[in-house]
């Protein structure tokens, strides 16, 4: 078994493996010292108990006397010692002591145990002390193999409790949640548990056979009938006891009551069972101790399947520990709703990181770290341990990031997914799974540009199908090159950069630039850069060049690409086509240039506006593009001026491809055009450089750039 409790250490500190016996010995010492001496058991010889030696009347009289004293002394620092002193004067008891958990415990002469839960704290908090650091060794990881979560609250309704609040999020992530009220026989219902959470009193004490045990309180009150009929076998074996404790009523008053307590041996005898890689978390006083750890995680005597156990080292305050429970499940489920809210909205955490989160974040009330509760018995710490041969880092599948391979048309999800293959959906639509590993899944690249990715893991059936991951917002990576290519003069230099229009460029990305045409790139062609920019030098002759950039992720796969057309010299035009071209008659489907002469057809004047129409023709192929830009009446072009895709409105443009000038295709969706230069030719004409894109409803995009010359004639055509 391995202890995962860590001090406030730098992020990324790994946790090293320790074995159960070492942890048990360490905890035994911590518990004895932490209780300030009140936890030391008596060294007197263990008595011989005699069945039938205590009558029901005598036992009831003892309980009544202890309840009366408990009401008067509970909360006092020496309450346990006072009750033990009283027990020593009572003939019904054969042995009494202050237990290792700080509770007053007595054994009747017939062996039945009574525990007065004096360790249940009610004092103010004190400053926290330093905590030990224990490291971890990495091992293959998996997830709980069954999606049933049992949440038990054995306390009265008026006491703070988180089970109701965490039930909903667990259900939303695919767990079948079973709520238990903490009755004795509730433990018999816990079968094939993937997750077990218990909120109850906790006691460390020997059973009638002098074996050290950990005991949970129940919500069930003892009766003579139950003792003699329903639970007689448990009494005979010494796995059930009577506890005396305070119960907070709805009106705020406190009532002293009796409750059954059950030992870790009772849990084994009840038939309670766990699925492989199960998680067991306790919110109970002194619930992290060698006895429950051995009962839960020991490979020979523990529960098969339990991989993670968590609890408190000493008595703790219910309000503080409930806040810790809420914070812990909030972070394990990736909700990020419990203060302090992380502005980065991180994905669900794993247990290793959880220990640091508990230590490094403080409760809004009281100001103590979430892993600390301080009472008269000392500083109680919340700790986690794992089985020696298991590693279950999370309670749900977790998506932490995505990488696209644009060449292979695949998407890689990173995170924690467990070994058994499940499924991946985006917006509820399944994606074909290529490979499934514990920390990565490769699926088909989604056809949708955005949506919520969800991993369904484990293969265990539940009301929701499987355990569900956090929904991960996916946005396809689309890139743009800036400034748009447009028109450049011969020998001109310009620096181009690439950025994400949608999605996010992967961390650690590199950029592969390539050029088709007569120009040059700084560093060679192709060239890979660590920054997102490149310098281009235009040739000393007219040319239509195409600049392309591919963004490479950390595995050197192409995450996305973009191109821009650079028309060098006057009266040039070029374009590229990308995306879904099905149903479109846009030739050619690769890079196309128009180097033959083209002409400005005419100026169109409409009501309040003027349209500059340029028609570009490649005489070798009859391929034709028409560009119409609409200005205000009498308006002029200017460098940096932008136009949106539209019709017959000032500030809009059309970008129309066709096989010839009589067969144009209207891309009636979206796009933009930018004026990249305006040149006065000195003869009454002007040359305009531009860059434009147009996209249809299916995502087919044409990107082009070039230049044309014209007169500002403002002719009127009806």
Mean pLDDT of 269-293: 95
Mean pLDDT of 3-25: 34
User: Interhelix angle for 318-332 vs 163-172, to 10°?
Assistant: 10
Distances 633 to 109, 444, 606, 651 between C-alpha atoms, Å: 108, 51, 8, 11
207 and 291 Cβ atoms separated by less than 8 Å = no
pLDDT at res. 193: 95
Residue 324, pLDDT > 60, answer yes
pLDDT at res. 683: 86
Residue the block writes with tokens 């080292």: 313
421: pLDDT confidence band, cut at 50, 70 and 90? confident
Residue 715, pLDDT > 60, answer no
Distances 651 to 216, 538, 655 between C-alpha atoms, Å: 75, 30, 14
Residue 43, pLDDT > 70, answer no
- List, in order, residues 6 or more apart from 251 with CB less than 8 Å away: none
3-state SS, residue 355: helix
- Strand partners of residue 96: 106
pLDDT at res. 32: 29
Mean pLDDT of 679-707: 83
Mean pLDDT of 145-168: 94
Mean pLDDT of 361-368: 94
Residue 24, pLDDT > 60, answer no
Residue the block writes with tokens 């010692």: 81
629: pLDDT confidence band, cut at 50, 70 and 90? confident
143 and 172 Cβ atoms separated by less than 8 Å = no
Closest CA to 535 of 560, 515, 562: 515
3-state SS, residue 359: helix
C-alpha span between 35 and 40 (Å, rounded): 8
Instruction: Quote the percentage of the chain above a pLDDT of 90.
Output: 57
Closest CA to 637 of 692, 682, 689, 694: 689
Mean pLDDT of 110-124: 80
Condensed to tens digits (0 to 9), the pLDDT of residues 447-484 reads 888 999 999 986 444 444 578 899 999 999 999 899 88
Mean pLDDT of 325-339: 97
Tell me the two tokens of residue 264: 């870790």
- List, in order, residues 6 or more apart from 138 with CB less than 8 Å away: 14, 391
Residue 11, pLDDT > 90, answer no
3-state DSSP helix/strand/coil percent for the chain, to nearest 5?
Answer: 15, 40, 45
C-alpha span between 602 and 600 (Å, rounded): 6
Residue 131, pLDDT > 80, answer no
Residue 605, pLDDT > 80, answer no
C-alpha span between 286 and 379 (Å, rounded): 11
pLDDT at res. 583: 58
Mean pLDDT of 118-124: 63
β-strands 478-482, 609-618: how paired?
unpaired
Does the model's pTM come out above 0.95?
Answer: no
34: pLDDT confidence band, cut at 50, 70 and 90? very low
Distance of CA 453 to the CA centre of its chain: 13
Mean pLDDT of 201-224: 96
3-state SS, residue 228: helix
Condensed to tens digits (0 to 9), the pLDDT of residues 534-566 reads 999 999 998 889 999 999 998 899 999 999 889
Mean pLDDT of 419-442: 92
Region of poorest pLDDT, from 278-292, 559-573, 599-613: 599-613
Residue 689, pLDDT > 60, answer yes
Q: Comparing 332 with 583, which gets the higher pLDDT?
A: 332
Cis ω before 483 (30° cut-off from 0): yes
Tell me the two tokens of residue 413: 């999800």
pLDDT at res. 593: 53
């Amino acid at each position: 078994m391995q202890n995962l409790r860590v001090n406030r250490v730098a992020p990324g500190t790994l946790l090293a493996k320790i074995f159960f016996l070492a942890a048990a010995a360490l905890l035994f010492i911590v518990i004895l010292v932490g209780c300030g001496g009140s936890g030391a058991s008596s060294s007197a010889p263990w008595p011989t108990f005699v069945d039938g030696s205590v009558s029901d009347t005598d036992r009831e009289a003892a309980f009544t006397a202890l309840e009366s004293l408990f009401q008067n002394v509970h909360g006092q620092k020496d309450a346990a010692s006072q009750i033990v002193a009283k027990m020593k004067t009572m003939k019904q008891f054969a042995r009494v002591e202050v237990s290792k958990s700080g509770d007053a415990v007595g054994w009747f002469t017939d062996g039945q145990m009574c525990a007065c839960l004096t360790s249940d704290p009610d004092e103010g908090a004190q400053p926290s002390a330093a905590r030990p650091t224990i490291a971890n060794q990495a091992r293959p990881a998996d997830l709980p193999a069954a999606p049933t979560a049992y949440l038990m609250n054995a306390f009265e309704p008026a006491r703070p409790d988180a089970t109701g609040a965490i039930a909903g999020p667990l259900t939303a992530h695919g767990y079948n949640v079973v709520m238990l009220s903490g009755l004795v026989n509730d433990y018999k219902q816990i079968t094939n548990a993937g997750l077990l959470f218990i909120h109850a009193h906790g006691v460390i004490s020997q059973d009638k056979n002098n074996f050290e045990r950990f005991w949970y309180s129940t919500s069930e009150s003892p009766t003579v009938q139950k003792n003699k009929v329903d639970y007689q076998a448990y009494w005979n074996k010494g796995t059930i006891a009577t506890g005396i404790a305070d119960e907070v009523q709805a009106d705020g008053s406190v009532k002293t009551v009796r409750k059954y307590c059950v030992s870790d041996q009772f849990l084994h005898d009840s038939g309670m069972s766990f699925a492989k890689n199960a998680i067991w978390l306790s919110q109970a006083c002194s619930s992290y101790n060698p006895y429950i750890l051995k009962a839960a995680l020991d490979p020979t005597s523990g529960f098969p399947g339990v991989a993670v156990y968590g609890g408190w080292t000493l008595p703790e305050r219910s309000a503080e520990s409930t806040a810790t429970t809420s914070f812990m499940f909030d972070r394990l489920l990736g909700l990020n709703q419990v203060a302090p809210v992380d502005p980065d909205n991180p994905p669900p955490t794993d247990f290793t990181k959880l220990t640091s989160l508990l230590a490094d974040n403080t409760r809004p009330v009281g100001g103590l770290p979430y892993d600390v509760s301080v009472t008269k018995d000392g500083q109680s710490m919340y700790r986690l341990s794992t089985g020696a041969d298991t590693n279950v880092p999370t309670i749900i599948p977790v998506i932490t990031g995505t990488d696209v391979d644009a060449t292979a048309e695949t998407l890689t999800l990173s995170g924690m997914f467990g070994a058994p293959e499940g499924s991946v959906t985006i917006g509820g639509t399944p994606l074909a799974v290529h490979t499934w590993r514990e920390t990565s899944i490769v699926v088909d690249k989604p056809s949708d540009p955005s949506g919520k990715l969800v991993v369904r893991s484990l293969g265990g059936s539940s009301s929701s199908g499987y355990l569900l991951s956090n929904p991960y917002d996916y946005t396809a990576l689309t890139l743009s090159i800036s400034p748009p290519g447009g028109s450049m003069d011969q020998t001109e230099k310009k620096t181009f950069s690439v950025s994400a229009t949608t999605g996010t460029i992967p961390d650690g990305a590199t950029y592969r630039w390539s050029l088709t045409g007569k120009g040059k790139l700084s560093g060679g062609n192709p060239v890979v850069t660590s920054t997102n920019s490149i310098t281009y030098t235009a040739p000393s002759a007219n040319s239509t060049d195409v600049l392309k950039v591919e963004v490479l992720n950390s595995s050197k796969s192409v995450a996305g690409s973009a191109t821009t057309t650079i028309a060098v010299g006057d009266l040039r035009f070029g374009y590229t086509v990308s995306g879904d071209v099905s149903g479109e008659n846009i030739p050619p489907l690769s890079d196309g240039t128009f180097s033959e002469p083209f002409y400005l057809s005419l100026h169109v004047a409409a009501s309040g506006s003027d349209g500059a129409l340029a028609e570009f023709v490649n005489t070798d192929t009859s391929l034709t593009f028409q560009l119409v830009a609409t200005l205000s009446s009498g308006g002029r072009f200017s460098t940096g001026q932008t136009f949106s895709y539209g019709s017959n409105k000032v500030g809009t443009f059309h970008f129309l491809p066709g096989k010839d000038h009589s067969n144009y295709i209207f891309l009636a969706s979206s796009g933009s055009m930018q004026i990249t230069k305006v040149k006065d030719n000195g003869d009454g004409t002007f040359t305009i450089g531009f860059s434009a894109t147009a996209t249809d409803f299916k995502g087919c995009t044409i990107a082009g750039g070039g230049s044309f010359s014209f007169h500002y004639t403002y002719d009127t055509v009806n």
